[in-house]
Amino acid sequence: MRYYPESLARLLTELRKLPGVGEKTAQRLAFHMLREPAEDIRRLGKTIAEAHDHLTQCGVCGSFTDKTQNPCRICESPNRDRSSICVVEKPDDIAVFERMGSYRGLYHVLGGVLSALNHVRPDDLRIPELLSRVEKEQTAEVILALNPSVEGNATVTYLSRQLEPLPARVTQIAYGIPIGSELDYVDEVTLNRALESRSEVP
Amino acid sequence: MRLEELTVVNFRNYEEASLRFGRFNLFLGENAQGKTNLLEAIHMLAATRSHRSASDAEMARHGASSYYIRGLLNDGYSRRRLEIAYERGGRKRVTLDGKAQARFSNIVGLLKIVFFAPESTAAVRGSPEDRRRFLDALISQARKDYLSDLIDYRRALSQRNEALKQTRDRRMALSELRVWEAPLAAAGVRLTARRLEVCGELSPLLRLQQERLAGEGEEAELIYRANVSGESLENAFAERLTAAETNDIRRGTTSVGPHRDDLELRLNGRSARRFGSQGQQRTLTLALKLSEFEWLKAATGIAPVALLDDVVSELDRGRARRLFSAFGSLSPQVFLTATEAPEDLRERAASDVWQIRAGTAQYAEGGG
């Protein structure tokens, strides 16, 4: 990057730290920003900084929320079904469920999955918070929606054992064939998983 | 599926080479000129890894920081372009028709191969690990979920082994250690069941091939010794893990599961590894390769491509002739390396020959 002016090189270095941004994307973003009116770019910078300053972790579910709105909007909403909690790995996963729109219950963000290799322990995840929540709020159902990785499955095992003494029903989302895809385009591993969890025709 | 064209750049001792193949392909040349490297490149396209278990950095040409392999595959209906690119410091990238492949298991088995090299006798003579590797390589080509179970199993195994060490050092509670049992057992049970099934199918094929090669008197048998066995593999796995827990914690390593399986090859009821003569072991290896070929063909409906590395020096003429005639009539495509053209092949009109010298492949003659 020696051929760039110093301040441009610094901008490129910062942009490249973002996920999914390589050299080419960084360059495209940087040149776009430089072409925009200074005022717009200042607003962008300010918005990013403010978002960072104003956001905090929701004291209940662990997702992001504004500091002025804690617990978050979903946790506070009178329209949500308070008898069910959907457990996810990260806040991004909540957005996926919300876009879908048909789930009306509450959420709980673990902040990761167990890993002996990476030294991630139950106390590093928001597992104690989940247990006390389920106990205190008399939750009827806990839906585990973790990724079907080795670590995700281990975490499911741990959670189901920890939740066992409580009256809540513990379920796990199903894995299988994406709707709208043709069977012959589904990879064999997914198909096998779907075959294993097949169900009776109603 | 056949390999129509192979291009390698900065791979092993090749700076750049491009070859168009026919049905019989012979790489001729002195030792250490690069014959096996071409077979290795083909193995890379088939399995995304080296048959010699070489690392990516090792395979880049001396002084180069990257390598590139491209194969054009043809199954008679459509052509596919398979590319593997590696750059030092980065990850190996595999693309199919220009599309990057996140899961290499989608690629493995596209080009089905049977590889026969002097070191193939390891499946008979070598360690249990050699024999498991033979079995894993074979099943992965035919059953996609097998490779993904294998990857999951290894991952769960290293998680549990790390957890065992932390438990031993009193940094982890038992309840936390035990969470790794479920993913370990789930993948382990599937691997064990699949290996049992495949070995059951492979054994009668092996018996038949051995009989053809060595005559009625030699009865070959392939016995799979699963570390975990029982009516219900699920229950057996769980029970064994529980029983072994204390010992596993002390040793910091998992003693139960398919990573401890073995495969026994027998001749007339006796271990071929311990009691077989060198000649018997070679014949058995050959019979094993031929049954591998037949099994792959039966299991997938597609006859694999045969890669025969330096078999003339390894086998006597009689066995070599049988090998050529078997693969010659059954396989859609054959690749062969040798220091000089074997007599039986000289008589064959339709073969393409390359002279291999110091990392260059000079097309010598072809019959089309």
**The domain spanning residue B275 has which CATH number?**
1.20.1050.90
Predicted confidence at residue B356, as pLDDT, reads: 93
B27-31, B105-109, B177-181, B234-238: least confident range: B105-109
Predicted confidence at residue B325, as pLDDT, reads: 79
Listed residues B278, B301, B324: the one ending a domain? B301
Enumerate the residues of chain B whose CB falls inside 8 A of the CB of residue A157.
178-179, 181-183
B186 in contact with A, Cβ within 8 Å? yes
Same domain, B292 and B306: no
pLDDT 10s digits, B123-172:
999 999 999 999 999 999 998 889 989 999 999 999 999 999 999 999 99
Question: How close, in Å, is residue A163 to chain B by CA atoms?
Answer: 13
Listed residues B264, B286, B301: the one ending a domain? B301
pLDDT 10s digits, B263-282:
999 999 999 999 999 888 98
Structure tokens at A181: 């895809």
Question: How close, in Å, is residue A187 to chain B by CA atoms?
Answer: 8
What is the rounded average pLDDT of the residues B169-189? 94
Contact B177, B163 (CB under 8 A): yes
Listed residues B248, B279, B301: the one ending a domain? B301
CATH: 3.40.1190.20, 3.40.190.10, 3.30.70.520, 3.40.1360.10. Which one for A80-172?
A: 3.40.1360.10
Kindly give, in sequence order, each residue whose CB lies less than 8 Å from that of residue B99, ignoring residues fewer than 6 positions away: none
Same domain, B157 and B238: yes
pLDDT 10s digits, B204-250:
999 999 998 887 788 999 999 999 999 899 999 999 999 999 999 99
Put simply, the answer to whether A188 touches B152 (Cβ < 8 Å) is no
The band of B110, judged by pLDDT with boundaries at 50, 70 and 90, is very high
Same domain, B150 and B97: no
Contact B280, B272 (CB under 8 A): yes
Same domain, B26 and B89: yes
Domain layout of chain A by residue ranges: 80-172
Predicted confidence at residue B344, as pLDDT, reads: 66
Which of B145, B177, B194, B253 best tests the A interface by mutation, with the highest count of A CBs <10 A? B145
Contact B355, B342 (CB under 8 A): no
pLDDT 10s digits, B10-47:
999 999 999 999 998 999 999 999 999 999 999 999 99
Contact B294, B225 (CB under 8 A): no
**The domain spanning residue B306 has which CATH number?**
3.40.50.300
Predicted confidence at residue B212, as pLDDT, reads: 87
The residue ranges of chain A whose pLDDT is under 70 are 1-2
Question: How close, in Å, is residue A116 to chain B by CA atoms?
Answer: 5
Number of domains in chain B: 2
Which helix or strand (DSSP H or E) is residue B240 part of?
A: helix B233-251
Q: Write down the mean pLDDT value for chain B.
A: 91
For residue B334, pLDDT beyond 50: yes
Predicted confidence at residue B345, as pLDDT, reads: 63
Same domain, B308 and B248: no
Same domain, B293 and B318: no
Predicted confidence at residue A4, as pLDDT, reads: 85
Question: Domain limits at B249?
Answer: 121-301
Reply yes or no: is the peptide bond before residue A71 cis, omega within 30 of 0: yes
Q: How many CB pairs under 8 A join A and B?
A: 54
